[in-house]
A and B are shown apart, each in its own frame.
Chain A
Amino acid sequence: GILTKYVPDQGEDLYRRSLYTFWKRTLPPPSMTIFDAPTRDFCEVRRQKTNTPLQALALQNDVQVLEAARVMAQRTLSEEKESVQAVKDVFQRILVRSPKEEELSTLHKYYQDALATYLKNTEQAEQLVAIGEYAQLNTDPAKTAALMLTAQVIYNLDETITKE
């Protein structure tokens, strides 16, 4: 029945902190349990720190991450026209440090490869950037798709998701 489904909110409510997720005891939100959120069945003194393929899938395909990547790409492209700086901006926003030479050149090359692919296939680019309810900014779809995937790469790094 209603207890077995999670229904996404609409509008402003969608962009609140995950703290406010309605917690169903018999069906804890999967995006959280995949990342070792305690199920609240018993007292967990030390939370597990696991590493599973389901986490990899969630980080790559959960609309929450994809939407964040898209919005970040669009905002960055609205302010910064030069591609190396755009990649650098995205990197700094996520990892709170400047990229090293090697990292920046790898990511920028990735951006350019992705951009070349999407310039040849704007329909795919448009499909990709349509993700998420957040308001769309009027940026070039191919560039947005390429920068969005660059942001996705950074979101999926071990350094991003692990707190040392």
Chain B
Amino acid sequence: MGHHHEPKEEPSLKGNRRHFFSQLSVGIGSLALGSLLIPDLFKAPSKEALAKALGVPHFAPKAKRIIYLFQAGAPSQLETFDYKPILRKRMGEDLPESIRNGQRLTGMTANQDKFPLMPPKVGFQQHGQSGTWISDFFPHTAKIADEITVIRSMHTEAINHDPAITFFQTGSQISGRPCVGSWLSYGLGSENKNLPSFVVLTSRGKGNSQGLYAKLWSSGFLDSKHQGVLLRSGKDPVLYLNDPDGISRSDKRHLLDHVSSLNKMHHVETGDDEIESRIAQYEMAYRMQMSVPDVMDISKEPESIIKLYGEDCQVPGTYAANALQARRLAENGVRFIQLYHQGWDQHGNLHNEMAGQAKDVDQASAALVLDLKQRGMLEDTLVIWGGEFGRGNYAQGKFDPDNYGRDHHPRAFSIWMAGGGIKPGMNYGKTDEFGYNVVENPVHINDFHATLMHAMGLDHEQLIYKYQGRRFRLTDVAGHVVKDILA
């Protein structure tokens, strides 16, 4: 069969290089070496040198999990939560320069010589005891006005979708960093042994869509076990989840048992702990083959739940179906569940498209909050609804109040949050009369992240990772916790 050159066995050397060096870093020798490199190593710990232990919250959390309903494409705040009657009074007038104040525009409207103010075609009402203004596009969300806190003073620097979504997901417009879900997985560990701690579900409306990229649930420079796992609708909810035809479940178990026993033989010989880790991952994969289809099976959900979310929730791949999945995943201990609904990029035909988009998400989003509430889960689940930036108050392109579009607007937009540590029924932050600038209580994305982390029991300044020679954190070098909205 050919000549095989056998490597010389050295049974006396019971470790290998990898093992040897990984052990060295925790040996006595390293302490001595450490004190030479870091003279303060044995001093009393200052705020900087004291690294918090991973896997536990820094202080008592209010929320144990987050469901982030990301509306990709950027829904217009002027047609959702920010009611600005002056736009109707001054419809068609040019946006005053004093208001615009040099805001950069995208290439789509930069060449317009006029920026005529455009009012929303949809009406607004006040709802609940909190008197929250919500547009008529969201009748179901209107009913939960007293459960949610609307933040109207969100702002960002990013003006285009990719950097803006990346900013919301990773804390930076430049890609490559870990996402919120990954940071939380890194900081808090996993609650569940059968499912990943960070799951992503996507859906797409009929409105104008922009792409979603795998980097939005990437673990960046953190260990890739913290990456988000995309649950797809269709036969293979997780890529490669299903065994090929011809292998039964018990055949697969049998195969894995043998992989495991041979790996263990190898482990005895080399002492390499990575092998144990790999065995554990194989077991996790086996469990996921059962647990994922189980979680996604909604056949036992009662009729009342189907009605609550709307019939769409039985159609895989829709936002409503994903929202119902989100609740089930939350029940099963998944810590960060991200939904994306694409199609909110209304540069034209805004009224009709938004009506469709809103219809996709309104009932299910409100249903999710109510469903969690009736299960007693709302108090420790943080639900967030929002997009990556806002939209401008002037018409894009031709001026036609019946068929208008809005360009991107980073300086002011609205989101809502509910549950886990958030004061219900609150309105936080204000924009100017034109809905263009934030005038009260600005909340930057970094502040948003700091607040999320605070709700989860983490100090955003303390959860760090050293990479490229410096300490990184989700909020990087910024961010303040918005204490006023926290219960």
A30-B239, A41-B175, A158-B274 known; A56 and B258 CB under 8 Å? no
Q: In this complex, which of B229, B259, B261, B275 has the most chain A Cβ atoms within 10 angstroms of its Cβ?
A: B259
- The answer to whether B7 has its CB under 8 Å from any CB of chain A is yes
Given A28-B214, A53-B285: A98 and B240 within 8 A (CB)?
A: no
B215 A48 Cβ-Cβ under 8 A: no
Given contacts A152-B255, A158-B266, contact A56 B274 (CB under 8 A): no
| Mask of B310-324 contacts with A, CB within 8 angstroms, 1/0 | 000000000000000
Contact indicator B262/A128 (Cβ below 8 Å): no
- List the B residue with the shortest CB-CB distance to A117: B251
| A164 at the B interface (CB under 8 A) | yes
Q: Is the CB of A106 within 8 A of B258?
A: yes
* Contact assessment for A52 and B281 in the assembled complex, using a CB-CB cutoff below 8 Å: yes
Residue contact B6 to A56, C-beta cutoff 8 Å: no
B288 contacts A103, CB within 8 Å? no
**In whole angstroms, what is the CA distance A144 to B394 when docked?**
69
Decide yes or no: A51 and B225 within 8 Å by CB, A62-B240, A107-B258 being known contacts: yes
Q: Is B109 an interface residue (CB 8 A)?
A: no
Chain B window 223-243, contacts with chain A (Cβ cutoff 8 Å), 1 for yes, 0 for no: 111010100000000111111
Contacts of B288 in A (CB 8 A): 53, 57
Chain A, interface residues (CB within 8 Å), range: 35 or more
What is the bound-complex CA distance between A102 and B254, given in angstroms? 17
A131 in the interface (beta carbon within 8 A)? yes
- Measured CB to CB, the closest approach of chain B to A104, in angstroms, equals 11
Which A residues are CB-close (under 8 A) to B243?
A: 60-61
A149 touching B255, Cβ below 8 Å: yes
Known A-B contacts A33-B214, A92-B1, A98-B4; the reply to A52 vs B258 at CB < 8 A is no
Q: Is B249 among interface residues, defined by CB-CB distance under 8 A?
A: no
Tell me whether A102 and B239 are in contact in the complex, defined as CB-CB below 8 angstroms, given that A52-B225, A128-B246 are known contacts: no
**B455 CB to nearest chain A CB (Å):** 28
Contacts of B215 in A (CB 8 A): 39, 41
Cβ-based interface call for A68 (8 A)? no
Taken together as a complex, chains A and B put the C-alpha atoms of A147 and B112 apart, in Å, by 69
Does B275 contact A158, Cβ atoms closer than 8 Å? Answer: yes
Contact B1 A53 (CB under 8 A): no
Q: List the A side residues contacting B286 at CB < 8 Å.
A: 56
B213 within 8 A of A: yes
Q: Does B43 contact A (CB under 8 A)?
A: no
Q: Is B176 among interface residues, defined by CB-CB distance under 8 A?
A: yes
User: Is A97 at the interface (CB under 8 A from chain B)?
Assistant: yes
Binary contact readout A85-123 vs B (1 if CB under 8 angstroms, 0 otherwise):
000010010001110101100110010011001000000
Interface residues of A in 120-149 (CB under 8 A from B): 124-131, 145, 149
Q: Is B248 an interface residue (CB 8 A)?
A: yes
Q: How far is the CA of A33 from the CA of B244 in the complex (A)?
A: 22
Residue on B with the closest CB to A56? B285
Chain B neighbourhood of A128, CB < 8 A: 244-247
Q: Is B218 an interface residue (CB 8 A)?
A: yes
B284 within 8 A of A: yes
In the complex, what residue of chain B is closest to A63 when comparing beta carbons?
Answer: B244
Beta-carbon contact of A50 and B1 below 8 Å: no
Interface residues on B, range: 35 or more
Complex Cα distance A63/B245, Å? 11
* Nearest CB of chain A from residue B264's CB, rounded to whole Å: 10
Quick one: which of B84-132 are within 8 Å of A by CB?
none
**Docked-complex contact B246 and A159, CB < 8 angstroms:** no
Q: Are A56 and B245 in contact (CB under 8 A)?
A: no
Whole-angstrom distance between the alpha carbons of A48 and B282 in the complex? 19
Cβ of B16 under 8 Å from chain A: yes
**Cβ of A31 to closest chain B Cβ, rounded Å:** 8
Chain A residues contacting B274 (CB-CB under 8 Å) are: 51, 158, 162
Q: Could you tell me the distance in whole angstroms from the C-beta of B285 to the nearest C-beta in chain A?
A: 4
- Chain A residues within an 8 Å CB radius of B240: 54, 57-58, 60-62
B281 near A149 with CB under 8 A, answer no
Q: Which residues of A contact B1 (CB under 8 A)?
A: 89, 92
A55 adjacent to chain B (CB < 8 Å): yes
* Residue B17 lies at the interface, judged by CB distance under 8 Å to chain A: yes
8 Å CB interface, B265-295 against A:
265-266, 272, 274-275, 277-279, 281-282, 284-286, 288-289
A54's partner among B7, B239, B245, B272 (CB-CB below 8 A) is B239
Determine the chain A residues whose CB is within 8 A of the CB of B238 once the complex forms: 54, 57
Q: A30-B239, A103-B265 are in contact. Are A153 and B258 (CB under 8 A)?
A: yes
Asked whether B241 lies within 8 Å of A156 as measured between CB atoms, the reply is: no
Is A77 an interface residue when CB atoms closer than 8 A count as contact? no
Residue with the greatest number of chain B CB neighbours at <10 A, chosen from A53, A127, A128 = A53
Identify which of B4, B16, B262, B284 contacts A53 (C-beta below 8 A). Answer: B284
Please list 13 pairs of residues, one from A and one from B, whose beta carbons are closer than 8 Å in the complex, sorted by A's number: A30-B239, A48-B224, A54-B285, A57-B288, A57-B289, A60-B240, A103-B262, A107-B258, A107-B262, A128-B246, A152-B255, A158-B263, A164-B18
14 additional A-B residue pairs with CB within 8 Å, beyond A57-B238, A107-B262: A34-B239, A41-B215, A57-B240, A60-B255, A61-B242, A92-B4, A114-B251, A131-B244, A131-B246, A145-B246, A157-B263, A157-B266, A158-B274, A162-B274
Q: Could you tell me which B residues sit within 8 Å of A by CB distance?
A: 1, 4, 6-7, 16-18, 174-176, 196, 211, 213-215, 218, 221, 223-225, 227, 229, 238-248, 251-252, 254-255, 258-259, 261-263, 265-266, 272, 274-275, 277-279, 281-282, 284-286, 288-289
